[in-house]
Amino acid sequence: MNSIDLSNLVRTLLEKNLKKGEEILISYKQYQIESAEGYGKNKNHKELSWILTNQALLQLDIVNDNIKLKMFSLDKIVSIDKSFDLAEDAQLIYNYAKVKFNNGDECNLYPPKTRDLLDSIKNYKALVEMLRG
């Protein structure tokens, strides 16, 4: 990935694609991977983020110089399946949430791969709990 500021680029992309009155409620980064191989344009960059607005669930998938934005309308959710592990201290830990839509689409939201991103883990839990089917 070249030295483009992704945060500004993503912000512009979202501003152009959100409907009037649509507000971002919460977001989290599921993963971000930078390959140690190569530098500059040959460097491998992968990132997957989820953004919840008051009208849609957005999937932002970045691979090198390609950005994909997929939008799922919240009013089309028909079910949400949540999977948990039980920790030793009797706490429930999310494995994933599968969201199904009335048009046949579905998406799997997994917790952040890097457990050291405490804010991202908190945002994941909050986002999943805000979804309703």
6-130 folds as PH-domain like (2.30.29)
Distances (CA, A) of 16 to 1, 51, 106: 23, 15, 24
pLDDT at residue number 1: 39
For the stretch 78-87, pLDDT in tens is 999 999 988 8
pLDDT tens track for 103-113: 999 999 999 97
Answer with the residue of higher pLDDT: 32 or 79.
79
Domain map (residue ranges) of the chain:
6-130
User: What is the pLDDT confidence band of residue 116, given thresholds at 50, 70 and 90?
Assistant: low
Kind of pairing between the strands at 66-73 and 77-86:
unpaired
Residue 12 identity? T
Q: Is the pLDDT of residue 2 over 70?
A: no
Average pLDDT over residues 87-95: 84
48: number of Cβ within 10 Å: 20
Taking residues 66-95, what's their average pLDDT? 91
